[in-house]
């Protein structure tokens, strides 16, 4: 590895989804400037998908240390110990152990210095829940793995990033009816601090500009349409301003995402999941990248799901996964 940066560690995702074929497609398109990576998966499963699609791709079994030198010869695959028995489009709880092992070992490879970032393929949370998975999603699970491996408190924050827009939902994987109950001053302050810190440290933004949405229509209209802006959001922003952060808000969410408004900030903080992800995916569905802030390592992911309905057909668009690889490469150079 002397004189060469370590590769990126890519997870398998749900083996019945589009993750495996996206990994194969990303390797096929490596000449377009993608960084070297290895996949933690079942070699036979990837070989079977490549054969099914008619793609002539050599699967090179390797360990993380040998992945970079193998990358031009074929797709480097670090074999999993858990069994994988998956048919495209047919998720099964029996593959949960392999899905989670792939994530755990990618984090471990990064911790050991054998990889410089983790790039995850989509998982199916409902399938994992059937097998006893107890985390709300990928983001929270990565936070727990990081806390255990690095021995420190971790507060993971999900950011959806593209050249057009970056958004951070303050409440994430909770029902819409529960989001106002989960929203607190402390949560807004902690989230904004992580966002500002990582935009400086990893994205090179000298003074991050944060635009913070209100929860209610018209940002509450002075209390006529809800008081969360007055009692929760505005006091949190005063704390952040006192710390020297550049924050604007609470702002009406319906006027935050047109081009002129986006030019005035670096990232938008929204109060619930769809308030931010709808504009982010509308503006850059294929190019969007899910970035987890607040971790002791870089993690990126395509901004879409498992797409079981098209898995195994070779029509899944690898653009978002390639964007995730390129962003992870950029953030770790």
Binding-site residue numbers for substrate are 138-139, 281, 290, 299
Q: Residue 220, Cα to own-chain centre: how many angstroms?
A: 31
CA 163/CA 171 separation, integer angstroms: 23
CA 249/CA 202 separation, integer angstroms: 24
Beta-carbon contacts of 143 under 8 Å, excluding residues fewer than 6 positions away, are: 154, 155, 156, 292, 294, 295
- DSSP state, 90? B
Q: In the chain, helix, strand, coil percent, each to 5?
A: 45, 15, 40
Beta-carbon contacts of 43 under 8 Å, excluding residues fewer than 6 positions away, are: 59, 61, 77, 79
Instruction: Reduce the DSSP state of residue 10 to 3 states and report it.
Output: strand
Closest CA to 232 of 276, 179, 278, 161: 179
Structure token digits, residue 56: 């002539």
CA 86/CA 80 separation, integer angstroms: 14
| Triad 268, 274, 275: Cα angle to 5° | 40
Structure token digits, residue 173: 């994987």
Give the annotated binding-site residues: 138-139, 173, 218, 273, 281, 290, 299
The number of residues in the chain equals 333
For every residue of 209-238, DSSP letters joined together read EEEEE-SSGGGGGGGTT-SHIIIIIHHHHH
Structure token digits, residue 105: 């070992």
Give the annotated binding-site residues for a divalent metal cation: 173, 218, 273
CA 166/CA 284 separation, integer angstroms: 10
In this structure, the number of other CB atoms found within 10 A of the CB of residue 85 comes to 12
CA 21/CA 315 separation, integer angstroms: 9
CA 227/CA 4 separation, integer angstroms: 55
């Amino acid at each position: 590895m002397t004189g060469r940066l370590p590769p990126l560690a890519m997870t398998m995702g749900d083996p019945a989804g589009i993750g495996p074929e996206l990994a194969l497609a990303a390797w096929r398109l490596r000449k377009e400037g993608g960084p070297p990576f290895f996949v933690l998966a079942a070699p036979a499963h990837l070989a079977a998908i490549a054969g099914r699609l008619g793609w002539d791709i050599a699967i090179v079994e390797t360990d993380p240390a040998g992945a970079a030198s193998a990358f031009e010869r074929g797709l480097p695959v670090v074999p999993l110990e858990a069994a994988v028995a998956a048919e495209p489009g047919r998720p099964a709880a029996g593959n949960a152990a392999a899905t989670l092992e792939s994530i755990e070992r990618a984090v471990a490879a990064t911790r050991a210095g054998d990889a410089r970032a983790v790039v995850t393929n989509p998982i199916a949370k409902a399938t994992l829940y059937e097998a006893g998975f107890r985390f709300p999603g990928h983001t929270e699970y990565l936070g727990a793995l990081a806390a255990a491996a690095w021995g420190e408190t971790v507060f993971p924050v999900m950011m959806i990033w593209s050249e057009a827009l970056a958004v951070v939902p303050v409440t994430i994987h909770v029902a819409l009816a529960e989001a106002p109950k989960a929203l607190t001053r402390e949560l807004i302050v902690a989230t904004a601090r992580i966002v500002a810190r990582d935009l400086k440290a990893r994205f090179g933004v000298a003074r991050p500009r944060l635009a913070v949405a209100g929860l209610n229509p018209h940002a509450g209209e002075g209390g006529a349409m809800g008081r969360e802006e007055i009692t929760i959001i505005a006091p949190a922003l005063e704390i952040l301003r006192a710390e020297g952060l550049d924050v604007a808000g609470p702002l009406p969410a319906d006027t935050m995402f047109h081009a002129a408004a986006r030019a005035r900030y670096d990232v938008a903080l929204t109060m619930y999941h769809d308030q931010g992800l709808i504009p982010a995916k509308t503006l850059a569905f294929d190019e969007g990248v899910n970035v987890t802030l607040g971790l002791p390592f870089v993690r990126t992911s395509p901004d879409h799901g498992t797409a079981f309905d098209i898995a195994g057909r070779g029509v899944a668009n690898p653009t978002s996964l390639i964007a995730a690889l390129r962003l992870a490469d950029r953030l770790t150079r």
